Amino acid sequence: MRTITGSRKLSVGLSLRDKLMLTVIYLILIATAVVVLYPVIWVILGSLNPGDTISSTTYLPEKLTFSHYINLFVEKDYLLWYKNTLFIAVMNMIIATILVVTAAYAFSRFRFPGRKQGLMVMLVLQMFPSFMGMIAIYILLLQMNLLDNHWGLILVYAGGSIPFGAWLVKGYFDGLPRSLEEAAKIDGASHTAIFFRIMIPLSVPMLTFIAVSNFIGPWMDFIFARLVLRSNDNKTLAIGLFEMVTGRANNEFTTFAAGAVLVAIPITILFLFLQKYIIEGLKAGANKG
């Protein structure tokens, strides 16, 4: 009887502790959601606020207007900026993903002179911030006549994504069983067939994570785009929005907020539809890297 009573008390104690821990976790999650969502809601409401000021005397403005969204397409070259940025992001996603995956496959499955040195160089390159090479990249693009050119941005973005991406995807490839490739080789499959028919289908979560990361990277990059692009026809979203709120004469904060809201739409859609693959890719890279 004492044993049964003691076990019941223990189970009740554990249950209460679990409930307490669960309550604490939920409180932390709610607080985190409030901290994250409050600025987003504030910017959305600010974009609907009449006038040029983003702040309001009340949390919910008395009058809501969509005129700032309309002005972006009527009075500004927002559609052109959007087109330029989308082109850069999509092309960088395609080129960078191809370069990263092929490099990772070569380092993972082949043994060649300079392999270890190449991996070490890529590892060391990740330790330095990208802006340290801005001057050298600028001079290189100048000599190649790629200044004020979208392809100059794309090539630099794609090349800069190789070190980290190749290390990450290589770790994933290393975790895939080699028996599948050996069986395919016995059946007469070439390395190209193995890569496209076996490795790529098994690596969809990781490839999705790499592709989305390389899409997001240049989407709102400002520093390097500002350095390379000069003409109005080649401006990106980051440059165009920044110029709305810089200088004494530029105080279109509500239009800036409206543009920022529209900028977030593609990224939000990508995460909503691909979050399953992104999470799987992150877990795979952590477990097999």
Residues 65-78 have pLDDT tens digits of 888 899 888 888 89
Residue 121 lies in a domain: yes
Same-domain status, 34 and 109: no
Residue 4 lies in a domain: no
The pLDDT, as a whole number, for residue 56 is: 59
Same-domain status, 84 and 29: no
Q: How far apart are CA 150 and CA 138, in angstroms?
A: 14
Q: How far apart are CA 227 and CA 3, in angstroms?
A: 75
Same-domain status, 113 and 206: yes
Residue 1 lies in a domain: no
- Residue range 183-201: mean pLDDT, rounded: 86
Residue 240 lies in a domain: yes
Same-domain status, 36 and 86: no
More confident residue, 89 or 187: 89
Q: How far apart are CA 84 and CA 150, in angstroms?
A: 8
Residue 127 lies in a domain: yes
More confident residue, 281 or 162: 162
- For 128, other C-beta atoms within 10 Å of its C-beta total 9
Same-domain status, 187 and 167: yes
Same-domain status, 90 and 46: no
**Strands in the chain per DSSP E:** none
Work out the percent of the chain whose per-residue pLDDT is above 90. Answer: 19
Same-domain status, 213 and 101: yes
Question: Each residue of 212-266: pLDDT tens digit?
Answer: 889 988 888 888 898 899 888 899 999 988 888 886 666 788 888 889 899 888 8
Q: How far apart are CA 88 and CA 232, in angstroms?
A: 16
Q: How far apart are CA 285 and CA 289, in angstroms?
A: 5
Residue 258 lies in a domain: yes
Same-domain status, 27 and 129: no
Contacts with 179 (C-beta within 8 Å, 6 or more apart), sequence order: none
- For 46, other C-beta atoms within 10 Å of its C-beta total 21
Same-domain status, 29 and 116: no
Q: How far apart are CA 38 and CA 27, in angstroms?
A: 16
Same-domain status, 151 and 200: yes
Nearest to 223 by CA among 277, 279, 165, 156: 156
Contact 257, 51 (CB under 8 A): no
Nearest to 165 by CA among 103, 245, 78: 103
What CATH number does the domain containing 149 carry? 1.10.3720.10
Same-domain status, 240 and 212: yes
Residue 144 is encoded by which pair of tokens? 């190649």
Q: Confidence class of residue 155 from pLDDT cuts 50, 70 and 90?
A: very high
* Lowest-confidence pick of 41-55, 65-79, 156-170: 41-55
Same-domain status, 39 and 163: no
Residue 111 lies in a domain: yes
Residue 193 is encoded by which pair of tokens? 């067939």
Q: What is the total count of domains within the chain?
A: 2
Domain ranges, residue 24: 20-65
Nearest to 165 by CA among 122, 198, 226, 223: 122
Where b means 16+ CB within 10 Å and e means fewer, 222-254 reads eebbebbbeeeebbbbbbbbbbbeeeeeeebbb
- Residue range 186-206: mean pLDDT, rounded: 85
Q: How far apart are CA 22 and CA 44, in angstroms?
A: 32
Instruction: List Cβ<8 Å contacts ≥24 apart for 59-63.
Output: none
Domain finish residue from 11, 34, 65: 65
Q: How far apart are CA 165 and CA 33, in angstroms?
A: 30
Residue 31 lies in a domain: yes
Domain finish residue from 65, 95, 120: 65
